[in-house]
Structure 1
Amino acid sequence: MLLLFLSLLSLLSPLTLSLNQEGLYLQSIKHSFSDPDSSLSSWNDRDPTPCNNWRGVKCDAASLSVVSLDLSNTNIAGPFPSLLCHLPNLTFISLFNNSINSTLPLDISTCQSLQHLDLSQNLLTGGLPHTLSSLPNLKYLDLTGNNFSGEIPDTFGRFQNLEVLSLVYNLLDGTVPSFLGNLTTLKMLNLSYNPFFPGRIPPELGNLTNLQILWLSDCNLVGEIPDSLGRLKKLTDLDLALNDLHGPIPSSLTGLTSVFQIELYNNSLSGELPAGMSNLTALRLLDASMNQLTGTIPDELCGLPLQSLNLYENRFEGSLPESIANSPNLYELRIFRNELTGELPRNLGAKSPLKWIDISNNKFSGEIPASLCAMGKLEELLMISNEFSGQIPPGLGECQSLNRIRMGHNRLSGEVPAGFWGLPNVNLLELVGNSFSGQIAKTIAGAANLSVLIVSNNEFSGPIPEEIGWLENLFKFWGHDNKFSGSLPESMFKLDQLGSLDLHNNELTGELPNEIKFWKKLNELNLAQNGFSGQIPDEISSMSVLNYLDLSRNQFSGKIPSGLQNLKLNQLNLSYNRLSGELPPLFAKELYKNSFVGNPGLCGELEGLCDEKDEARNKGYVWLLRTIFVLAGLVFIVGVVWFYMKYRYIKMAKRAIDKSKWTLMSFHKLGFSEYEILDCLDEDNVIGSGGSGKVYKVVLSGGEVVAVKKLWGGATKEFDSGDVEKGGRVQDNAFDAEVDTLGKIRHKNIVKLWCCCTTRDCKLLVYEYMPNGSLGDLLHSSKAGLLDWPTRYRIALDAAEGLSYLHHDCVPAIVHRDVKSNNILLDGDFGARVADFGVAKVVDLTGKGPKSMSVIAGSCGYIAPEYAYTLRVNEKSDIYSFGVVILELVTGRLPVDPEFGEKDLVKWVCTTLDQKGVDHVLDQKLDSCYKEDICKVLNIGLLCTSPLPINRPSMRRVVKLLQEVGTVNPSKTAKKDGKLTPYYYEDASDQGSVA
């Protein structure tokens, strides 16, 4: 009996314990995925059905058939599994935010039960499958954040039940198709952030009468907004921002009675806001900023339940409607850079929970309303460059929520309320360019978060209070052009975060104490035009990051500290004091002469400082003349020999090159001829060579220096070992590309092509000479120490501005296609120029779009991932390559290195940041005092190297991001001896950050 039972059990166990067919399908799918986090470990073969706690799997309770699969955020990778369509009752698929790659298969149309498909934030490529519209029950389709390319298939106009279509952040081209107007079941249409060709908004979209959300931002839309959009009565959210729409805002939009927010910013719309805005009874947000709108801000707009009103950077005029003060929900008001006049409503803020107000750059006048912070919510108050007068309302001194105040360049006067100085959350307080009087109140001790204090160009007087030394976060204090008196308070020297101090043109007195050495992070010190006396303390030499020092027009005496020679000073001015003694040797140069004038007791080799050594100098003239005669004889003999050898060389060269056959094409006014260039092309002048030829340094007779690239063989360009190629050569004509591109460009950050010379078998390109060579050679050599952080920052900004010019200012736009550190050249002041346009391409924006290249152009470690497999020319590939250059500047590492293993620099940085932290990424040769700014630039580099091209900022935005870092203000950077003078927070307004 026991044997019989065991035999029966052995027959039954495979049936009771085996996995059903749907489970087997899912097991097969599991094995097709890469699963580094073991997210699918619960998918085991011990269960009879996948309905038993398998991650992401949901089943019908009655039939135990799989109806839903949600594997969002599981870090799985691999192609989309067509086996999913073998699950007959599967209605829901979400693989959001993974690494699903390859193309989406056409047989996805066999998933006949599917209602919801979310494949957003993956790595899918190729065209959109035209078979998707064959899914009869599909209601939700989200393919956001992939790399789909090509046009939207015309079959997409045949979905039967589709309610949500989202194709945001892909690489789609063509134009926004009119056939989408056939999808009358749609409730949401989102095509934003795709590089479509220029096209109009299809009027047929007005047929989508069930549409609730329409997002077409940054879709390269042109023309006018069609009136038909006014038929979308159920619309709650309309976003047409970041396009090139023009013409008026159609009055039909005032019929969108359900609309919650309208975003039209950054277009070229003109005319007035349409009448009938009062019909928009549900409107909470209106953003029509950065257009060319005119007229007045209508009073009826203020009767709406608005929470946010952004109309900045237009041409509105007149006064702000009084009724806006009665908007009970308004918390954001940004109307800066218009032509608005008159006074602000007296009760503005009394009934509104205002948080952000920016009315800068208008012509508002009158007094500041006392009710702005009546609700206690106000955080930002920006009213730069208006004509406000009177005093600061005392009530603002009790507004504890304020964190950013900018009232500069108005006509405000009187004393600042005591409480205003000590607001605990304010980090920026700017009162520059007014007529304020009185003293800085002792209550400033309460401003614990204050980091930037700018009170310049006022009539403040009295001593700087001792309590200012309690502001541990104070980074910048500018109080120049006032009437401050007394000595600097002792507590002030304990501000170890202070980076910039400018108190010039005041009435300050006293001596600088030895405690000045505690200002370890001070970068700029300007105490000119005061009454300071005593000696300049030797301890000033220990301020290692100081590079701007102006102590002129004081009463300092004694010797100049010799240690000043060790500082990397870009600006030094000690003129018109009472200094005496010998000038330190390093400063005995004509370059520094104006830095020391007006010190009668100061002696040195510079003319005009001291005449005591004139007699000794005259005695040396006789000996000098004798030496000159001897040397002249030697030079003559050597010259005769050199001339003979040169004559023989030229004679031989003329046999090889017939100068009469050279053709010169100039792009600038030249001070030399082609013959002068040809005479200097000897081996002694070679400064570089590659597969395509040699580069010569040529010193012309007028003393000017140029670089000459000599190309042999004419039509092709060979890459160096760091470049990627197919078939050994790139068949683009490098010479023609270089001439066509550089011959038309005029930009300070693009290397200048003087001219070209050609014969049948030899071509010469004559460039401006870059004394410091390429960034790559300098950065990855023993001379990398020359590149401190301010220099590296400036190089990044210069190169970004050059590329921005190519992408945004050239018509048509130009894609460089080989951005790398070796193609960024440095002049004598370490200013950067983008060079080598041998593989550059013009981007056709007239309708045909970017073309696929037959080969990959670029260099290992710099090539954008999508470019490697699509071969499509796009400015986003340049942005990726530039991001790699930024990572080189921050890390000091090569783009590819054996230390990285199979990774490149981008992947190494990302991995190291995750596993070890930022300190293991930054170049150890950089001064740690710049760490905060270096990290900001690192983040910009990571943004530029985003795997998804649509997530990368434009080069114009990259320039803006770099300018906002704050280490160096390009408009005020002073170059001297190859170094830079950093300036801090020198923005005139906050407008750039709002958009």
Structure 2
Amino acid sequence: MDATRYILEFLVLLLLLLLPTIAGASSDTKHLIAVRSALRDPTGALAGWDAANRRSSPCRWAHVSCANNSAPAAAVAGIDLYNLTLAGAFPTALCSLRSLEHLDLSANLLEGPLPACVAALPALRHLNLAGNNFSGHVPRSWGAGFRSLAVLNLVQNALSGEFPAFLANLTGLRELQLAYNPFAPSPLPADMLVNLANLRVLFVANCSLTGTIPSSIGKLKNLVNLDLSVNSLSGEIPPSIGNLTSLEQIELFSNQLSGAIPVGLGGLKKLHSLDISMNLLTGEIPEDMFAAPGLVSVHVYQNNLSGHLPMTLGTTPSLSDLRIFGNQLSGPLPAELGKNCPLSFLDTSDNRLSGPIPATLCASGKLEELMLLDNEFEGPIPVELGECRTLVRVRLQSNRLSGPVPPRFWGLPNVGLLEIRENALSGSVDPAISGAKSLSKLLLQDNRFTGTLPAELGTLENLQEFKASNNGFTGPIPRSIVNLSILYNLDLSNNSLSGEIPEDFGRLKKLTQLDLSDNHLSGNIPEELGEIVEINTLDLSHNELSGQLPVQLGNLRLARFNISYNKLSGPIPSFFNGLEYRDSFLGNPGLCYGFCRSNGNSDGRQSKIIKMVVTIIGVSGIILLTGIAWFGYKYRMYKISAAELDDGKSSWVLTSFHKVDFSERAIVNNLDESNVIGQGGAGKVYKVVVGPQGEAMAVKKLWPSGAASKSIDSFKAEVAMLSKVRHRNIVKLACSITNNGSRLLVYEYMANGSLGDVLHSEKRHILDWPMRYKIAVNAAEGLSYLHHDCKPVIVHRDVKSNNILLDAEYGAKIADFGVARTIGDGPATMSMIAGSCGYIAPEYAYTLHVTEKSDIYSFGVVILELVTGKKPLAAEIGEMDLVAWVTAKVEQYGLESVLDQNLDEQFKDEMCMVLKIGLLCVSNLPTKRPSMRSVVMLLLEVKEENKPKLKAVATLPI
């Protein structure tokens, strides 16, 4: 009886102890259901969080974990909702889960302010809200809460206000990650570095940090990962960093750090990655910098470093990735570089390095990228590199290399780019080149190569660009070249090639540039060249070609055409009568316009000519009256045009912004309607050839005041902007020419027109993915210059594919500054909307407030065009604009569903990364859009050679 009573008392006591736990578990279920109700869940990821499952333990629900899953009513300890496309505000019901230790809501579409209540969760150790749209300030109450917090990750949101220095009070933090948020410019808090003694990860890249790096950073003895990149930090790198013996990664790139690299980094035994590139560092590289035994990656490029490389570089045991380009380093590379380490990526470009190329670079058999361009290296290419089967990119141009190229080096099977131009290399192209099956670009120009070009070149089915100009090649052009079906650029000019041009050249359907000038080619010009409808540059000048000019060339639309100084004869077809072709036929005495004299004319031929003349006279008589009327009309139009263009010779004023070799009359006298190459809302654009070198210029004639537009404002704006800017990716304004009635702007001529014209026409196949990527980077760098390097800031206001022009090499430049504006520290209010449909940022359309973010939205649309191949507004995407169409498709089917199907699938991963950057640029919230400087960084990180920094792209919230 007593035993029974004791058992009953024990069970009652146990029940009393379990009641709070059971009640807590029941309460957690209720809170999770409230969380689901507060969120938009388009994919149904939280479908199981339902009232129908109220009786089941939430520990069995998807994305939920409990501290003790075996307990009958365990409390919720972890919630992981990473990348579930959830949207809405932060669900405050989460703050009621009192046992919550781990909360991950990263890579979703959550927005609004950060919740203050989450700081009161007593057990919370891990909080990850990265990759969302949270905005506003970090709640100050967070600095007084979070009793247990060890990990705080707010990366890639839209947080603003001052950098939250009060987080230094969270002394238990082991990881603090606030990177890629647009905080107000603030110094890096010294207290934070003193108080957070347990910190292992400090990731505050792109947080608008200013000032210097405090020396107190040396107190973070447990720090493993230090990333202060992409800020505005200045001053020297504190030597105290050498005290952080736990460091594995140092990322200080893209700041304004100056002074010398501190001695002591070699003592960091665990260090494997060091990136201090894109700063203002000077002096020599310390002897001990490569002494760290685990050092895998070193990036010190784009600084002002000088002196010789330390010899310890040759003995470092783990080095795989070394990038030192864009400095003033001199002397030789260590003779044993690569012998003792698994070197896979080496870029020493744009220095003053000399001596031989070390034969040991590929001793480990892992070298993939070798870029030694623009130095003073001398001697032969090492024979050992011909055995390096792992190489994929080789750039050795602009050095002093000499001697023959090793035969096996020609045939490396994985090399896609082989660039050895501008050296003193000799010998011939070995037939072993047939082994280079991955080769897409072969650039040999400006060397001393001789011999015949091997027929094996025709087996390189991936070859897109072959340049071998300014060498001593002899013999015929290999007929096998016509097998290169995707070749778009062939330049064999200034050699000693002989024989005929292969008739089968018409099979090269993707050829856009063909230059065979300055050789000894003979025979007829093949009429099959007229079948290459995509070609825009054809230069056959300075050869020994004979016969007549094929009429089939009239099928072509050539931006550059030259057959001067040959032995051609016969009539010049009428379609070559334009002024743009006036210098295309020089030095061919047998060529003539109209009827040509011939010593062999028969009486029958003379009779035919007489009959033809009579017929012409008869027809002329019939149309005489009409002609007189038409002449009267044209005369009146001429008088109007003359009034616009000429108020007297002395009235024209030429204002130059660069050195020019022509007069205002050379421009004005060539504004012929046959030279018009474009027309828009601001005026007409002409192609004019001027100067002693026959340089082509683009001349924009703005509409006269009061006739079709705002030409005076447009003219003043464009001159004011472009006369000041100097950047390789901004179209160059050579001069302006004005009189009382007309305004002319004279630009450099861009041979391939606008991106919009090429991308959305039958020429689009010319733009493969590497070219599109190059265009995106070029245009981004141009806009970044306007936004970050011009004072005051210049906002373009009409960024679109038609205002991105392409030069002969398909390099991109920003053009048309007619509606551009300078702005101060805040948004500028415009009186009317400028821009083009499909590109205008939503806040600009509603508020007329313009900031740099408006340009970034428009540039994001251009990225979407490049990735999808579609226009911003097109029937094929229905009534939506391109942004809405891409967003909807990506949400429903994923990133790959919108990629241009005409592009090579091998670049799919790169295209998806660039697409994510584009989608970030077209965010509805301006604060969510990155700066153009960040866009450039993100784009550069996409490429294989920038893989160590891919984390920034990989974590974008798409």
Are 1:811 and 2:791 an aligned pair? yes
* 1:943 equivalent among 917, 920, 928: 917
Q: SS of the counterpart of 1:565?
A: helix
Question: Is structure 2 residue 377 aligned with structure 1 residue 388?
Answer: yes
> For residue 82 of structure 1, what is the aligned residue in structure 2?
92
Aligned residues of 1:471 and 1:495 also touching (Cα < 8 A): yes
Q: Distance in 2 between matches of 1:641 and 1:534?
A: 49
Aligned to 2:79: 69
Whether contact under 8 Å (1:933, 1:965) holds in the other structure is no
Moved more, 176-185 or 853-862: 853-862
Letter in 1 for 2:240: S
- Among candidates 64, 67, 86, match of residue 57 of structure 1: 64
DSSP 3-state at the match of 2:456:
helix
Cα displacement (A) at 1:329: 0.9
Provide the secondary structure at the position in 2 that maps to 1:564: helix
CA contact (8 A) 1:72 1:95 kept: yes
Q: Residue 386 of structure 2 corresponds to which residue in structure 1?
A: 397
2:497 maps to which residue?
508
Larger mean Cα displacement after TM superposition, 554-563 or 357-366: 357-366
Check whether the contact 2:917–2:939 (CA below 8 A) recurs between aligned residues. Answer: no
In 2, the alpha carbon distance for the partners of 1:23 and 1:412 equals 73
- Alpha-carbon deviation of 1:330? 1.2
**Aligned pairs (5 A) from 1:84-163:** 84-108=94-118, 111-133=121-143, 135-139=145-149, 163=150
Aligned to 2:228: 240
The alpha-carbon deviation at position 738 of structure 1 amounts to: 12
Alignment-mate amino acid for residue 204 of structure 1: D
Distance (Å, rounded) in 2 between the aligned partners of 1:697 and 1:524:
27
- 1:675 is aligned to none
The normalised TM-score by structure 2 is 0.74
| Cα distance, 1:182–1:599 mapped onto 2, change above 3 Å | same
Q: SS in structure 1 opposite 2:481?
A: helix
Instruction: For residue 204 of structure 1, give the secondary structure of its aligned residue in structure 2.
Output: helix
Given that 1:697 and 1:769 are in contact with CA atoms closer than 8 Å, whether structure 2 keeps it comes out as: no
Residue-by-residue CA offset, 1:128-180 (whole Å, 9 max, x unaligned)? 344445644351xxxxxxxxxxxxxxxxxxxxxxx333332233344435444
Deviates more, 1:248-257 or 1:446-455: 248-257
The aligned residue for residue 296 of structure 1 is 284
CA deviations on 1:456-479 (whole Å, 9 max, x unpaired) are: 222222111222222111111111
Change (3 A) 1:42 1:893: same
Q: How far 1:788 sits from its partner (Å)? A: 6.8
Q: 1:222 aligns with which of 210, 215, 238?
A: 210
- Report the counterpart of residue 306 of structure 2 in structure 1: 317
- Counterpart contact for 1:817–1:841, Cα < 8 Å: no
Match for 2:94: what amino acid?
L
- Conserved in 1, the CA contact under 8 Å of 2:497 and 2:519? yes
Q: Secondary structure at the match of 1:299?
A: coil
1:842 is aligned to 823
**Residue 423 of structure 2 is aligned to residue 434 of structure 1:** yes
CA drift of 1:958 comes to: 6.2
Equivalent position SS for 1:467: helix
> Which of residues 259, 263, 272 in structure 2 aligns to 1:275?
263
CA contact (8 A) 1:213 1:236 kept: yes
Match of 2:553 among 554, 561, 564: 564
CA drift of 1:855 comes to: 12
Q: Is the 8 A contact 1:824 1:835 kept in 2?
A: no
Name the SS for the 1:27 alignment partner: helix
Write the distance in 1 (CA, Å) between the matches of 2:220 and 2:800: 49
Greater mean alpha carbon deviation, residues 68-77 or residues 169-178: 169-178
3-state SS of 1:300 partner: coil
- Pair 629,668 (structure 1): closer, same or farther in 2 beyond 3 Å: farther
2:856 is equivalent to residue 879 of structure 1? yes
Q: Mapping of 1:730-769 within 5 angstroms?
A: 746=723
For the Cα contact (< 8 Å) 1:779–1:892, is it kept in 2?
no
1:470 paired residue number: 459
Do structure 1's residue 38 and structure 2's residue 44 form an aligned pair? Answer: yes
**CA shift for structure 1 position 551:** 1.3
Deviation at 1:841, TM superposition (A): 7.0
SS of residue paired to 1:374: coil
Secondary structure class of the residue paired with 2:362:
coil
What is the CA-CA distance between 1:413 and the residue it aligns to? 1.7
What secondary structure, in the 3-state scheme, does the structure 1 residue paired with 2:497 have?
strand
Task: Give the superposition deviation at 1:556.
Answer: 1.5
Cα 1:710–1:457 shift into 2, 3 Å: closer
Structure 1: distance between partners of 2:534 and 2:541: 20
For the structure 1 residues 960 and 566, does the alpha-carbon distance in structure 2 shift closer, same or farther, using more than 3 Å as the test? Answer: farther
The offset of 1:328, in angstroms, is: 0.7
Distance 1:911 1:573 in 2: 49
* Residue matched to 2:956: none
CA contact (8 A) 1:779 1:889 kept: no
Alignment check: 8 A CA contact 1:580 1:600 kept: yes
Cα contact 1:521–1:929 (8 A) shared by 2: no
SS at match of 2:433: helix
Contact 2:399 2:422 in 1 (8 A): yes
Taking the aligned partners of 2:204 and 2:119, their CA distance within structure 1 comes to 27
Contact residue 864 and residue 882 of structure 2 kept, 8 A: yes
Counterpart pick for 1:190 among 159, 167, 177: 177
8 Å CA contact retained: 2:452, 2:475:
yes
Question: Residues 472, 22 of structure 1: CA spacing in aligned structure 2 closer, same or farther, 3 A cutoff?
Answer: same
Deviation at 1:586, TM superposition (A): 0.7
1:408 aligned residue: 397
Q: What is the CA distance between 1:767 and its match in structure 2?
A: 7.8
Report whether the alignment pairs 1:907 with 2:884: yes
What is the percentage of aligned positions where both structures have the same residue? 42
SS of equivalent to 2:917: helix
Deviation at 1:226, TM superposition (A): 2.1
Deviations for 1:326-365, whole angstroms, at most 9, x for unmatched residues? 1111112222222222222222211111111112222222
Q: How far is 1:854 from its partner?
A: 14
Offset, 1:221: 3.0
Tell me the alpha carbon deviations over residues 535-556 of structure 1, each in whole angstroms, 9 at most, x when there is no partner: 1111111112211111112221
Tell whether the 8 Å contact from 2:804 to 2:813 is kept in structure 1 after alignment. Answer: no
Secondary structure at the residue paired with 1:945?
A: helix
In 2, the alpha carbon distance for the partners of 1:112 and 1:435 equals 72
2:563 corresponds, among 556, 565, 574, to: 574
The alignment of Structure 1 onto Structure 2 pairs a total of residues equal to 851
Is the contact made by 1:944 and 1:953 (CA closer than 8 Å) also made in structure 2? no
Report the Cα offset of residue 489 of structure 1: 2.5
- Deviates most, 501-510 or 113-122: 113-122
1:72 Cα deviation from its structure 2 partner: 2.3
Distance apart, 1:570 and its partner CA: 1.4
The separation in 1 between residues aligned to 2:450 and 2:437, in whole angstroms, is 23
Unaligned runs of 5+ in 1: 1-15, 140-162, 646-665, 673-686, 690-694, 712-716, 718-734, 757-764, 772-777, 967-988
